[in-house]
């Protein structure tokens, strides 16, 4: 259905760019799509013949890659050449929270967006449509515009000033369900100023998305809607997690409360699963962005409101560590704790901002020996996330005691406790008989994900602590 767009270039082959462009290529075989990245290792992995070695684990992705790769979907490090050919360019680069300078710890680091915008200004042809896909602070489109229209590089060999249209098309995919979310989105949001450009992007989506689901807004509304959606979702998790602590104190059961409140159709039963705190690359970053924005506009109360969602999330992680220590007689030094799950949620290999990171660091700080198992996360990722050299106090604990286990059996061998941190389906079918024989007595199971069938463990003499259960 698309008219003019025959060639798309996407800058950034990450968790957003990779799956999004794969679905675009699958749904629009007449459009050539080049996904470019300066990380050559990542591009090599996207081009791997062995599809189990793709850089991202996402259910359904390998099938699409096998259909589209080298047909109309290409992964490359040749940024310049692919920018030159493109009719439409997506910016899907990372936007981490700033580590230093003004707004450190809150504002987004836009250096990757700026660098890619400069590349666009230099190499893209005139009238190319630029689409913001990365989650960005409100009014980033303004920054992009300023760079695009002021960079001298864009006029290297020509007298003619280039023209670009900028659209904001935030991505709402949730990892682990990315393909489903991209194939049947709840809505597609397109913000922009030029109706013709908006329609070009709309026409692409109309190849598989119902027109009623495509919402068009101005640029700033589109940008803010992404931050607001993530903040609302995170707020639901902090709300239910705050109640999990109250349930434990009062003798109620958070699962029963969850069903009761979720049955109100105004509230709904989605996205109120209690857990060890939300992780992932978006929620924390987006709320910090929102807080920064509110402070900038002098809306102190609003900023505080959203900051509390984050504070509660951190509190949840810290209180879980305390519970483990208390139950293990106030001392976990030299005790072995088996960690089941390190990804920030199931069905992904992504560990960014995973609650497991802080919880594991806390436990290591208390002197525990950790054995970590996750079906999709690699040991090198865990090593990088725990960043042990910098974060562990070497005076009190001179050896970072953790190891990576390739199987649950090895992971639980000799353990004093098991801590379930990710809701992987296989943790619902644990062989408690085998596990009880391998663990040291008294053995504890700490379930932070309200796993089904966990009560079975009691049969085998294991002590159970369940998140949000006042009776466990």
Q: Which is nearer to ligand UDX, 171 or 253 (CB)?
A: 171
Q: Single out the residue of 272, 332, 357, 462 in contact with ligand UDX (rule: CB under 6 A).
A: 272
Contact partner at residue 175 from ligand UDX, ligand ADP, none, CB < 5 to 8 Å by partner kind: ligand UDX
Q: Single out the residue of 233, 261, 323, 400 in contact with ligand UDX (rule: CB under 6 A).
A: 233
Q: Which of 81, 66, 61, 71 is nearest to 17 (CA)?
A: 61
* C-alpha to C-alpha distance for 181 and 184, rounded to whole angstroms: 5
Q: Which is nearer to ligand ADP, 17 or 176 (CB)?
A: 17
Q: Is 273 in the site for ligand ADP (CB under 6 A)?
A: no
119-158 positions binding ligand ADP, by CB under 6 A: 134
* C-alpha to C-alpha distance for 48 and 65, rounded to whole angstroms: 10
Least separation, in Å, of the C-beta of 185 and ligand UDX? 10
Residue range at the interface with ligand ADP (CB under 6 A); choices 59-67, 89-97, 326-334, 428-436 = 89-97
* C-alpha to C-alpha distance for 13 and 442, rounded to whole angstroms: 47
Q: Say how many residues touch ligand ADP, by CB under 6 A.
A: 21
Least separation, in Å, of the C-beta of 60 and ligand UDX? 15
Q: Is 432 in the site for ligand ADP (CB under 6 A)?
A: no
Q: Say how many residues touch ligand UDX, by CB under 6 A.
A: 19
Contact partner at residue 134 from ligand UDX, ligand ADP, none, CB < 5 to 8 Å by partner kind: ligand ADP
What number of residues does the chain have? 472
Q: Single out the residue of 192, 275, 341, 468 in contact with ligand UDX (rule: CB under 6 A).
A: 275
Task: Name residue 217's beta-bridge partners.
Answer: 191
Q: Which is nearer to ligand ADP, 144 or 392 (CB)?
A: 144
Contact partner at residue 279 from ligand ADP, ligand UDX, none, CB < 5 to 8 Å by partner kind: ligand UDX
Least separation, in Å, of the C-beta of 15 and ligand ADP? 4
282 labelled catalytic: yes
Q: Is 74 in the site for ligand ADP (CB under 6 A)?
A: no
Least separation, in Å, of the C-beta of 112 and ligand ADP? 4
308-347 positions binding ligand UDX, by CB under 6 A: 344-345
Contact partner at residue 17 from ligand ADP, ligand UDX, none, CB < 5 to 8 Å by partner kind: ligand ADP
Q: Single out the residue of 116, 140, 273, 381 in contact with ligand ADP (rule: CB under 6 A).
A: 116
Q: In this structure, are residues 306 and 294 in contact, taking their beta carbons and an 8 Å threshold?
A: yes
Q: Single out the residue of 8, 16, 291, 312 in contact with ligand ADP (rule: CB under 6 A).
A: 16
Least separation, in Å, of the C-beta of 44 and ligand ADP? 12
Q: In this structure, are residues 422 and 356 in contact, taking their beta carbons and an 8 Å threshold?
A: yes
Widest CA span in the chain: 80
* C-alpha to C-alpha distance for 118 and 124, rounded to whole angstroms: 10
Contact partner at residue 124 from ligand ADP, ligand UDX, none, CB < 5 to 8 Å by partner kind: none
The dihedral through the CA atoms of 335, 336, 341, 344 has a sign that is positive
Residue range at the interface with ligand UDX (CB under 6 A); choices 32-40, 116-124, 277-285, 372-380 = 277-285
* 342-354 as b/e: b if 16+ CB within 10 A: bbbbbbbbbbbbb
Q: Which of 282, 294, 360, 450 is catalytic?
A: 282
Q: Beta strand pairing status for 369-373 and 463-466?
A: unpaired
Q: Is 374 in the site for ligand UDX (CB under 6 A)?
A: no
* C-alpha to C-alpha distance for 257 and 262, rounded to whole angstroms: 8
Window 33-72: contact mask with ligand ADP (x via CB under 6 A): ---xxxx--x------------------------------
Q: In this structure, are residues 34 and 10 in contact, taking their beta carbons and an 8 Å threshold?
A: yes
Residue range at the interface with ligand ADP (CB under 6 A); choices 88-96, 178-186, 327-335, 392-400 = 88-96
Q: Which is nearer to ligand UDX, 344 or 373 (CB)?
A: 344
* C-alpha to C-alpha distance for 361 and 372, rounded to whole angstroms: 12
- Footprint on this chain of ligand ADP (rule: CB under 6 A): 11-17, 36-39, 42, 79, 92-94, 112, 115-116, 134, 281
Positions in the binding site for ligand UDX (CB under 6 A): 171-175, 230, 233, 237, 271-273, 275, 278-280, 282-283, 344-345
Residues carrying an active site annotation: 282
């Amino acid at each position: 259905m698309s008219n003019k767009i025959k060639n798309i270039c996407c800058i950034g082959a990450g968790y957003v760019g990779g799956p999004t462009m794969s679905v675009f290529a699958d749904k629009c075989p007449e459009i050539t799509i080049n996904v470019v990245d300066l990380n050559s290792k990542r591009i090599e992995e996207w081009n791997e013949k062995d599809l189990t070695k793709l850089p991202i684990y996402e259910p359904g992705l390998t099938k699409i890659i096998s259909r589209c790769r080298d047909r109309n979907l290409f992964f490359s490090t040749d940024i310049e050449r692919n920018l030159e050919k493109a009719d439409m360019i997506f910016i899907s680069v990372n936007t981490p929270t700033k580590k230093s300078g003004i707004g450190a710890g809150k504002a987004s680091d836009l250096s990757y967006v700026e660098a890619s915008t400069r590349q666009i200004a230099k190499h893209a042809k005139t009238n190319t449509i630029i689409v913001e896909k990365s989650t960005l602070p409100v009014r980033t489109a303004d920054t992009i515009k300023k760079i695009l229209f002021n960079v001298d590089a864009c006029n290297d060999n020509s007298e003619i000033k280039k023209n670009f249209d900028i659209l904001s098309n935030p991505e709402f995919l949730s990892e682990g369900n990315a393909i489903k979310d991209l194939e049947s989105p709840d809505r597609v949001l397109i913000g922009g100023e030029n109706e013709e450009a908006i329609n070009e992007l709309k026409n692409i989506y109309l190849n598989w998305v119902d027109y009623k689901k495509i919402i068009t807004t101005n640029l700033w509304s589109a940008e803010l809607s992404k931050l607001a959606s993530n903040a609302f979702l995170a707020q639901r998790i902090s709300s239910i997690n705050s109640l999990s602590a109250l349930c434990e104190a009062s003798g109620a059961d958070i699962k029963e409360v969850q069903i009761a409140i979720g049955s109100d159709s105004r509230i709904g039963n989605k996205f109120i699963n209690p857990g060890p705190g939300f992780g992932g690359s978006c929620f924390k970053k987006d709320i910090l962005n929102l807080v920064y924005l509110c402070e900038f506009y002098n809306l102190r109360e609003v900023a505080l409101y959203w900051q509390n969602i984050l504070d509660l999330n951190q509190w949840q992680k810290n209180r879980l560590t305390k519970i483990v220590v208390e139950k293990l007689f106030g001392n976990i030094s030299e005790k072995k704790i088996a960690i089941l799950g390190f990804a920030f949620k199931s069905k992904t290999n992504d560990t960014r901002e995973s609650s497991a990171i802080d919880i594991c660091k806390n436990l290591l700080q208390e002197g525990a020996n950790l054995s970590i198992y996750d079906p999709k996360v690699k040991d090198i990722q865990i090593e990088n996330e725990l960043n042990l050299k910098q974060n562990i106090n070497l005076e009190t604990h001179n050896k970072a005691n953790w190891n990576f286990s390739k199987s649950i059996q090895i992971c639980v061998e000799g353990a004093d406790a098991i801590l379930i941190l990710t809701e992987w389906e296989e943790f619902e079918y644990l062989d408690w008989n085998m596990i009880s024989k391998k663990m040291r007595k008294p053995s504890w199971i700490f379930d932070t994900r309200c796993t089904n069938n966990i009560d079975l463990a009691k049969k085998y003499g294991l002590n159970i602590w369940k998140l949000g259960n006042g009776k466990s």
